[in-house]
Amino acid sequence: MKPITIIGGGLAGLTLGIALRREHVPITIWEAGDYPRHRVCGEFISGQGLQTLTRLGLLANLGGARVAASAAFFSNTNRIFRQILPQEAICISRFNLDARLAESFRREGGELRVNSRYKSPLHNEGVVEATGRRAQAHANGFQWYGLKAHTTNVALEADLEVHLHADGYVGMCRLPEGRVNVCGLFRREPGDKPCSPLERLMLTNSLLGTRLEHALWNHESVCAVAGLPPYPRFGEGCRVGDALAMPAPLTGNGMSMAFESAELAVQPLVEFARGSLTWDSAMLGIRAAQRKQFEARLKWSALLHKFLFSSAGAVLAPAIAALCWRWLFRRTR
């Protein structure tokens, strides 16, 4: 059986590796970091990603998750609306989740090379990219970056909260043991003076800032990522997760898409490994399935992001969100 190499040991890479090992495919995953570790992430799984985890037999093994049933959106000074989620979601720390997936992959007999970078060409036969998004220093005149930290001593009005701001947005979700994940996407013009991650996450002079005034931060959880692309783009080659396409974080669908994109790649890669498909045919099949699954929701994701940061969006976003949220929620899943 032909071996498969996966570059990147995040959600998509590990999920794909586990599924392929269960089909007895020889798998090596190269991961530049180690486990456990914190990552910039909303830590919120909803929509079809939960069905993917169930089909792959992984959902029952994700201990340390908390069910999320409600969501609320806020402007700087007011609550816009509060809703019951159309479908229950789960919230789980990436610090725990990635480590559990890595342990499962090893138990299945996969080779996981941590603290190691893959140095051969990425477009070789049998190589899958799961390396995350491709950094962009500037986009539309702005630098985009993400921040994340865990905290306690914070009371939320809903299991998931989104706080909108002129230059970004912050999402918060309830985790087990009274912890709250605080994760934000922000933009700044080149040359703007940066502020500390926690100061930025608190959105000074806002309702969120007041809410976090007495927060007890876990400083080991503070992390950042720069060069985020503002709109999703499909990649070439054989890719899964953010290496394939990154939805606007506002939609809260990035984790789900990582799991889904991995599942869509499993069968074509198994057939390649068994010699019944050429590499080119396997890649074409994976890309076609991913486009069918994701193209519409990525377009809606991009439109929402563009609108939110437009001059009209700054004024109309609260009203549109309150009226159309459930409809938009379905369109992005």
3-state SS, 74-141, equals: ECCCCEEEEEEEEEEEEECCHHHHHHHHHHHHHHCCCEEECCCCCCCCCCCCCEEECCCCCCCCCECC
Mean pLDDT across the chain: 89
Residue percentage of the chain with pLDDT more than 70: 93
Q: Is the pLDDT of residue 95 over 60?
A: yes
Q: Is the pLDDT of residue 216 over 60?
A: yes
CATH class of the region 4-136+229-331: alpha beta
Q: Is the pLDDT of residue 324 over 90?
A: no
228-234: average pLDDT: 67
SS3 track for the chain: CCCEEEECCCHHHHHHHHHHHCCCCCEEEECCCCCCCCCCCCCEECCHHHHHHHHCCCHHHCCCCEEEEEEEEECCCCEEEEEEEEEEEEECCHHHHHHHHHHHHHHCCCEEECCCCCCCCCCCCCEEECCCCCCCCCECCEEEEEEEEEEECCCCCCCEEEEEECCEEEEEEECHHHCEEEEEEEEECCCCCCCCHHHHHCCCCCHHHHHCCCCEEEEEEEEEEECCCCCCCCCCCCECHHHCCCCCHHHCCHHHHHHHHHHHHHHHHHHHHHCCCCHHHHHHHHHHHHHHHHHHHHHHHHHHHHHHCCHHHHHHHHHHHHHHHHHHHHHCC
Closest CA to 161 of 64, 42, 263, 278: 42
144-152: average pLDDT: 94
User: How many whole angstroms separate alpha carbon 318 and alpha carbon 308?
Assistant: 9
Tens of pLDDT, residues 163-182: 988 888 999 999 999 999 99
